[in-house]
Amino acid sequence: MSELTLIIANRNYSSWSLRAWLALTATGADFDEVLVPLGRPETADEIRRYSPSGRVPALRDGEIIVWDSLAICEHLAERFPGAGLWPAEPRARATARSVVAEMHSSFQALRTHMPMNLRASRPGEGRGPGVEDDIRRITEIWRECRRDFGAGGPFLLGGFTIADAFYAPVVGRFHTYGVAVDEVCQAYMDAVWALPAMARWVRQASEEGMAVERYER
Ligand SMILES: N[C@@H](CCC(=O)N[C@@H](CS)C(=O)NCC(=O)O)C(=O)O
């Protein structure tokens, strides 16, 4: 058994799980995984066995339990300082932290009207009130990060960081709902989609079954 266990939910739906899983995978560390299927009578009790908030993801690191995707990513950045989960350069790091915090605390319209469903293809759907504003702000973040900090690689701050882990579920949503973006944003989306860890998660999501009716409306 590994020292690290990540508790996640269905890959197809759980955008919060995807963030933590991508960050943990980027460390290169061995870890065990527990997947708690959503939408079942036993789901709440099962999650509470691992996570005091009753939400996943949660990370068990030896005796330590960390919950909430942002806290998990911070824990991993501290635990694996060589993994580059935050950019080394202070201005880039401050920007990465800011765009991560913005993603964590905003974009409610996008979450509501474009729930992550990696298996689905719903081009043109999901344009509820406020969604266009969220898309505008997200693509502005992507363009500015790529322009100011992207020189060292294809991701928001160049190399892969927690910022990309946080925006990866949006890339999944834009695929599902057919959101058209400009060239810069498309290149960024392609880089995230082609990331081997992301490709693996998406493939596993397509194979996992466990459809939950309330997320399939
Ligand atoms: N802010 C939390 C949100 C986590 C969250 O809402 N997780 C959902 C799964 S995607 C959950 O645990 N839902 C429990 C349920 O639906 O029973 C985070 O960043 O980890």
Count other Cβ atoms within 10 Å, centred on residue 93: 17
Residues 117 and 157 in one domain: yes
> Any residues with Cβ below 6 Å from ligand 1, and which?
9, 14, 16-17, 38, 43-44, 47, 55-57, 68-70
Point out the domain boundary residue: 83, 103, 122. 83
Q: Which value, to the nearest 10 degrees, does the dihedral of the CA atoms of residues 178, 153, 87, 133 take?
A: -20
- 27 within a domain of the structure (yes/no): yes
- 155 within a domain of the structure (yes/no): yes
- 216 within a domain of the structure (yes/no): no
Question: What is the number of the ligand 1 atom nearest to the C-alpha of 15?
Answer: 10
Residues 70 and 119 in one domain: no
Q: Where in the sequence is the domain holding 99, given as residue range(s)?
A: 90-201
Residues 101 and 190 in one domain: yes
Predicted local confidence at residue 108, as pLDDT: 98
Predicted local confidence at residue 187, as pLDDT: 98
Residue 217, pLDDT > 80, answer no
Residues 61 and 103 in one domain: no
Q: What is the CATH number of the domain that holds 176?
A: 1.20.1050.10
Residues 29 and 122 in one domain: no
Point out the domain boundary residue: 60, 83, 106. 83
pLDDT digits (tens, 9 = 90+) for 123-168: 999 999 999 999 999 999 999 999 999 999 999 999 999 999 999 9
Residue 95, pLDDT > 80, answer yes
In what side-by-side order are the strands of the sheet with 58-61?
32-35, 4-8, 58-61, 64-67
Residues 95 and 196 in one domain: yes
Q: What is the CATH number of the domain that holds 25?
A: 3.40.30.10
- 211 within a domain of the structure (yes/no): no
Residues 96 and 124 in one domain: yes
Residues 79 and 112 in one domain: no
Residues 113 and 192 in one domain: yes
Residues 96 and 196 in one domain: yes
pLDDT digits (tens, 9 = 90+) for 166-183: 999 999 999 999 999 999
Supply the residue whose CA is at minimum distance from atom 5 of ligand 1.
55
Q: Mean pLDDT over residues 61-71, rounded?
A: 98
Question: What is the number of the ligand 1 atom nearest to the C-alpha of 20?
Answer: 20
Residue 99, pLDDT > 90, answer yes
Residues 20 and 102 in one domain: no
- 213 within a domain of the structure (yes/no): no
pLDDT digits (tens, 9 = 90+) for 182-207: 999 999 999 999 999 999 999 999 99
Cis peptide preceding 129, ω within 30 of 0 = no
Q: How many structural domains comprise the chain?
A: 2
Residues 94 and 197 in one domain: yes
**Ligand 1 pocket, mutate which of 48, 56, 105 (most atoms under 8 A from CB):** 56
- How many angstroms separate the alpha carbon of residue 56 from the centre of ligand 1? 5
Percentage of the chain modeled with pLDDT above 70: 100
pLDDT digits (tens, 9 = 90+) for 19-44: 999 999 999 999 999 999 999 999 99
Q: Mean pLDDT over residues 68-74, rounded?
A: 98
- How many angstroms separate the alpha carbon of residue 147 from the centre of ligand 1? 33
Q: Which value, to the nearest 10 degrees, does the dihedral of the CA atoms of residues 148, 183, 136, 122 take?
A: -140
Q: Mean pLDDT over residues 43-66, rounded?
A: 98
- 13 within a domain of the structure (yes/no): yes
- How many angstroms separate the alpha carbon of residue 214 from the centre of ligand 1? 15
Predicted local confidence at residue 164, as pLDDT: 99
Residue 1, pLDDT > 90, answer no
